[in-house]
Amino acid sequence: MPLFKRVYDWIDVRIGARELVKKELTGYLLPRNINEWYSLGSVLLVIFAMQVVTGMLLLVYYVPDADKAFKSVTYIMNELPYGWLMRLCHAVGSNMMVAVLFMHMISTLMMGSYKGPRELNWLTGFTLFAIVQGISLTGYLLPWSQLSFWATTVATNSVSAIPLIGQYLVEFLRGGKMVGPPTLGRFFALHVAVIPVIIALLIGAHLFVLKRTGISSPPFGGDEPVRHWPGDSYRYQSHPGGIPFFPNFALQDLTSIAIYFAVFFGVVFFGPDLPFTPDAFVPADPFKTPAHIKPEWYFLANYQILKIFPSELLGLTVQAAAMTFVALLPFIDRSPERHPLKRPLFLVCSIGGILLWVGLTVWGHYS
């Protein structure tokens, strides 16, 4: 320990490490009634870091060329030592990220923490949610399997329903009339370089805004007054008499991360086929359309909406309207009340919306 203390003292003299630890960790106070749901943001940070690390390792052997991509993924899975582990962690991790994102969104919805002054937390978060779907979509094409090829064909095709610019947009996305080698090139660049940087910047913005507003106090189970909006001037929400982030809440974060890893590795080791369908194990063939091509589970509701509406344009418009509604929710739902049971209209609409999404997903799966 003396060596550790000497190194710590050395750093402390130079950058004020003790002061930083006091300000950001042991002296950073959170509401006494903070709950488990507030640890999902940290779980998401860990998932993103895991995706970056496993993605970088896959990049060492993956070849972004239409003739070699499928073979390189097969090599990673079957021959490269622990290649299967990296690939499964990356594929399962992407699904888990979307699942945890949904949970984080639902918890901030239910506790009303999207309301003023936290509109920017919500907006940066919502943009993250949309961009994470973009990184999943671009990653789906990279193995260049039948599933990749045809799911991308279907997804990019739906854009053609947009009036006037639709067809141009599809060709721009695909780099040609059909999905082909140029599509792989641009999706690869988006997936490994462009979108990860955008996500990192957005996470930075999300955390910056959180640091400036201060964390909300949960609307239940506490003696601290819940702060209502509107306010007339900027005020950081501090929590005098609250619990320190370190060690108290850091322990909660670690517990949630451990539970996450238990579920995550449970799927990686005991349900490795869950993220794949049989078409994922067949190389892409532009001349052979598979009988049932379905997107990933979190796009099934969107897929089903496009199927049930008489025109694709109408289906796209309904989805765009629903997304815009959710994105602008803090500006639409302006009542200061944050307790879910004291917001019956909100509760009925949000539970109805979630059930509708689940129903459409199940319908999309079996249709």
**Distance, CA of 337 to CA of 110 (rounded, Å):** 11
Q: In this chain, which of 125, 143, 275, 364 binds ligand HEM, going by CB under 6 A?
A: 125
Q: In this chain, which of 62, 126, 150, 299 binds ligand HEM, going by CB under 6 A?
A: 126
Task: Give yes or no for residue 328 binding ligand HEM (CB under 6 A).
Answer: no
DSSP SS3 for 244 = strand
Q: In this chain, which of 48, 149, 299, 303 binds ligand HEM, going by CB under 6 A?
A: 48
Of 51-59, 65-73, 106-114, 278-286, the window that binds ligand HEM (rule: CB under 6 A) is 106-114
**Distance, CA of 343 to CA of 221 (rounded, Å):** 17
DSSP SS3 for 309 = coil
Nearer to ligand HEM, 96 or 284 (CB): 96
Q: At what angle do helices 119-141 and 195-213 cross, to 10 degrees?
A: 160
What count of other Cβ atoms lies within 10 Å of the Cβ of residue 75?
A: 15
Task: Give yes or no for residue 101 binding ligand HEM (CB under 6 A).
Answer: yes
Phi–psi pair at 119, nearest 5 degrees: -60, -35
Place of tokens 């009925």: 348
x/- map, 167-206, ligand HEM, by CB under 6 A: ------------------------------------x--x
77, 117, 85, 104: which is closest to 260 by C-alpha?
Answer: 104
Q: Residues 275 to 314: which contact ligand HEM by CB under 6 A? A: none
Nearest approach, Cβ of residue 48 and ligand HEM (Å): 5
What count of other Cβ atoms lies within 10 Å of the Cβ of residue 31?
A: 23
Q: In this chain, which of 87, 90, 118, 174 binds ligand HEM, going by CB under 6 A?
A: 118
Q: Residues 148 to 167: which contact ligand HEM by CB under 6 A? A: none
193, 93, 194, 91: which is closest to 143 by C-alpha?
Answer: 91
Residues of the shown chain interacting with ligand HEM in the complex, contacts defined by CB under 6 A: 38, 40-42, 44-45, 48, 101, 104-105, 108, 113-114, 118, 121-122, 125-126, 128-129, 203, 206, 210, 215-216
